[in-house]
Structure 1
Amino acid sequence: MGSRSKRNIGIIGAVAGVGAAGVGAAVGLRRLAVGRVRLRPDPDAGEPFGGLRGRELTVLADDGLPLHVEVDGPDDADLTVVFCHGYTLTQDSWHYQRRDLQGRLRAVFWDQRSHGRSGRSLPTHATIDQTGEDLWAVLRATIGPDEPVVLVGHSMGGMSIMALAERHPEVFEERVAGVALVNTSCGDMAEMTLGLPLVLAKLVRPLAPGALRGLGRRADLVDRARGLGADLAFVVTRKMAFADKHVSPTVVGFLEEMIRATPIDVIAEFYPALAAHDKCAALDVIGKVPVLVLAGGRDRLTPAAHGRRIAAALPDAELVEVDEAGHVLPLEYPGVVTGGLRRLVERVRPEYEEERTA
């Protein structure tokens, strides 16, 4: 195979992996743009992305798959926050929140199945319902039966929380004190335009599943070739995932590396579940607790309208919409996410303090 063909496969793999259903988008690319972006001021160049680690724990899912879990903070903390990452990412996508949310909090981070350091799932188990069951296994292994927990989910991680609510509503009465949903959706994912004109988006959507299945069948070849298009993949990632023109090149590169590390057949296996995602009914359960909803005004993958729809269906929700933000608020506007989580924690803590002293 020629270098040109390999490079094209690499670019396709990068596009296919960006975010929760970011598949098949045609993005105008120029090599000159790569150099310009990488030479910009980079205040986050010294951040130890991927280097923050906690106490490691292996949790077995209900099908026996090992899930990689890490715990930060004191075991006697009065509240635990569990972070669920998005499609094609890992627990390291919560880098800034992990760094900045410390003190009395206990934090649990885990890699979703087939992502990061968790085990590789059977293709038939690459579903949102299954990731909801995985979250339930993580909770049982890390949280005591009477200990309060706040659940935080980005993109597919938010969908996993919805699946947990649908299948285990009792957890939201007994353990869950609050929920944060970031750049996510409760349904209608098949209608995503990916920022394309509507006419073009309608042409792209039907092709995406077949294209991904084809790439998945040539996984070894595609994954080798993805690295050859790294510079162009950097531009695709920046275009599709971020909206802030001044986002750190190191942050973009970090996100692109996480996506590139996700095997193309894993991306292909999860895509149908994301496209068919519909957990609107689960909002009735989630609405029993305080909720923080964060949305990006220029999110191409789960547009802000989806966040507004979630917030409107919840009786006690705080909606934060960042106009100049894309699909990865935890990395693009980390202060907004961390600040929102601090407010949510302060909202739920008094209720549990009152219950303990009653």
Structure 2
Amino acid sequence: MTSADTSRTDAPDAPLASTVVGDGPRRVAFVHGLMGRGRNFNGIAQALSDQFTVEMIDMPDHGQSPWTDGVDYRRIADRLADHLRSGLAADGPVHLVGHSMGGKVVMALALRHPELVDRLVVVDISPRTAAAATDEFVHLLGTMLEMDLASFRTRSDADAAMAQKVPDERIRGFLLQNLRRDHGHFAWQPNVEMLLRDLEVIGSFPEPMVEADPDRTYDGPVLWIGGADSDYILDSDVPRMKELFPRAVRVTIREAGHWVHADQPGPFVDAVRHFLTQD
């Protein structure tokens, strides 16, 4: 038995939550993956803040952003585009960095709203369906929903309960970052029940992304970063990625899994900085 955090404003037109770090002349927005939050990129943002104004955005149904009734990459991209137009991109295009599910969102945004995107960084995800990843999250989100949050007095209690089904301490820490106190009891901040229901949609990549222009491509510069120890990007994904993003350049970071930016923050920052500061 679980409960939801009621501290957000879930009105359909409520703004997305975000945090801004730095005041450099270059502007970049980071979009996290499934069950993440914008502040997962805080260390990366701090490292880039000498040259960049960095916005870390909570996707819908995550963090402090509003809940919705379902996952639709086109709709999420459009909502993020509206958010950028009223803020970071008000004076022109910005750089976008998206990891995993967030990578699919920024790919969708670049295809649907190319005028908002200067340079695009896609991290450890491809424009295809990822069935294996979906299976993993069925277990993880299912475990979250099965937990009796009302019975826990401390985070350690929640961690001990989750450890019975999720033995990896690092993964537990990632999931438990979403635990919040609400009216004296623990609650999940993300829309876990809906996200579990829509995992097949999350694992997919809709085609065509732009219904009125099915052959639409994004012709700006794209850095496609993968972890050497991850299987989220396959060699067989390259042709479709190149069709949609003709200028995509693939880079693989050694000794990194799916969470590339957490596994190898130094090389990740170096790669992103080098790419985003090219004229």
Say yes or no: TM over 0.5: yes
Amino acid at match of 1:325: A
Structure with more contact order per residue of length (Cα contacts < 8 Å, sep ≥ 6): 1
Contact 2:9/2:66, CA 8 A, preserved across alignment: no
- Is residue 132 of structure 1 aligned with residue 77 of structure 2? yes
- 1:70-85 correspondence runs (5 A): 70-74=19-23, 77-85=24-32
Cross-structure match for 1:187: 128
Amino acid aligned to 1:188: T
Higher helix share: 1
Tell whether the 8 Å contact from 2:28 to 2:94 is kept in structure 1 after alignment. Answer: yes
TM (norm. structure 2) is 0.75
Name the count of aligned residue pairs. 255
Name the amino acid aligned to 1:113.
P
Q: Per the alignment, do residues 338 and 315 of structure 1 end up closer, same or farther by CA in structure 2, a change over 3 Å counting?
A: same
In the other structure, the counterpart of 1:148 is 93
Give the match for residue 327 of structure 1. Answer: 258
Residues 59 and 337 of structure 1: CA distance in aligned 2, closer, same or farther (over 3 Å)? farther
Query: Is the 8 Å Cα contact of residues 311 and 319 (structure 1) preserved in structure 2?
Result: no
Gaps of 5+ in 2: 3-7, 152-157, 180-187
Separation in 2, partners of 1:222, 1:279: 39
For 1:129-170, what per-residue CA distance to the aligned partner results, in whole angstroms no more than 9, with x for missing partners?
Answer: 2221221122112134442310100011111112223433xx
In the alignment, residue 129 of structure 1 is paired with which amino acid? R
Task: Name the structure 2 match of 1:342.
Answer: 273
Q: Calculate percent identity across the aligned residue pairs.
A: 22
Is the contact between residue 130 and residue 203 of structure 2 (CA under 8 Å) also seen in structure 1?
yes
Question: Tell me, which stretches of 5 or more residues in structure 1 are unaligned?
Answer: 1-5, 10-57, 195-203, 239-251, 351-358
| Alignment map for 1:1-358 (pairs within 5 Å) | 63-74=12-23, 77-121=24-68, 123-124=69-70, 126-168=71-113, 172=114, 174-190=115-131, 192=132, 194=133, 215=142, 219=145, 227-232=159-164, 235-236=167-168, 238=170, 254-258=173-177, 261=188, 262=190, 264-279=192-207, 287-300=218-231, 302-305=232-235, 308-309=238-239, 312-313=242-243, 314-347=245-278, 350=279
| Structure 2 CA distance for aligned equivalents of residues 258 and 286 of structure 1 | 36
Question: Take 2:22 and 2:85, find their aligned partners in 1: how far apart are those partners?
Answer: 18
1:60 deviates by 9.6
> What letter matches 1:333 in structure 2?
Q
* TM-score (normalizing by structure 1): 0.60
